[in-house]
């Protein structure tokens, strides 16, 4: 399962139900090794879940490495992401693209991710400067357990 030559999940973070409020200088996110995705919701227990188009923020590890070199804080969750994957050009995925995460979970890209004022405040960067490199928003089509190291597979012509 944990083969660095295959696309894989490298980070999972979420905002727990009943967790702390939003601190002024970072996102309130918790890093975990495993989680459960719920169809139509996102990460189980995530306060940010349930939006029809914004259930998950997905970014590529390769993009985070680039952004770190530009001075962004790319520690887990600091870009507002929930899933980081390696070996998938997330920013190039078309709307409607589907990815299988682990053995069961399937997500579908809904739209490119854009920054907000909070992102600009936390990172000290105008989100426009990062346009096209902030990952994608996705919804969960089929739920299931996921964990760091799980394979990420592009699904073509599958429903």
Predicted local distance difference test score (pLDDT) of residue 73: 77
One-character DSSP codes across 14-66:
E-BTT-----TTS---EEESEEEEETTTEETTBTTTT-SS-SEEEEEHHHHHH
Query: To which residue do tokens 């520690």 refer?
Result: 75
The percentage of the chain sitting over the pLDDT mark of 90, rounded to a whole number, equals: 50
| pLDDT digit string, tens, across residues 9-33 | 999 999 887 655 555 554 557 789 9
159 pLDDT tier (thresholds 50, 70, 90)? very low
Helix (H) or strand (E) holding 117: helix 117-123
Predicted local distance difference test score (pLDDT) of residue 51: 86
pLDDT at 96 over 90: yes
Q: Quote the mean pLDDT of the chain.
A: 83
Distance linking the first and last C-alpha atoms of the chain: 24
Query: Candidates 3.40.30.10, 3.40.50.12160, 2.40.33.20, 3.20.20.70; correct CATH number of 8-155?
Result: 2.40.33.20
Dist. CA 109–CA 95, nearest whole Å? 5
């Amino acid at each position: 399962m944990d083969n660095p030559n295959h696309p894989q999940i490298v980070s999972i973070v979420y905002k727990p139900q009943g967790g702390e409020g939003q601190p002024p200088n970072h996102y309130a996110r918790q890093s975990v090794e495993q989680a459960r995705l719920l169809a139509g919701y996102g990460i189980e227990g995530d306060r940010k879940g349930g939006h029809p188009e914004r259930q998950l923020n997905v970014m590529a590890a390769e993009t985070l490495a680039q952004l770190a070199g530009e001075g962004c804080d790319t520690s887990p969750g600091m870009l507002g992401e929930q899933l980081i994957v390696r070996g998938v050009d997330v920013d190039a995925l078309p709307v409607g693209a589907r990815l299988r995460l682990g053995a069961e979970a399937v997500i579908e890209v809904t739209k490119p991710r854009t920054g907000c004022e909070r992102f600009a405040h936390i990172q000290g960067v105008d989100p426009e400067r990062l346009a096209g490199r902030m990952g994608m928003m996705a919804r969960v089509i089929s739920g299931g357990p996921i964990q760091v190291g799980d394979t990420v597979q592009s699904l073509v012509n599958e429903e």
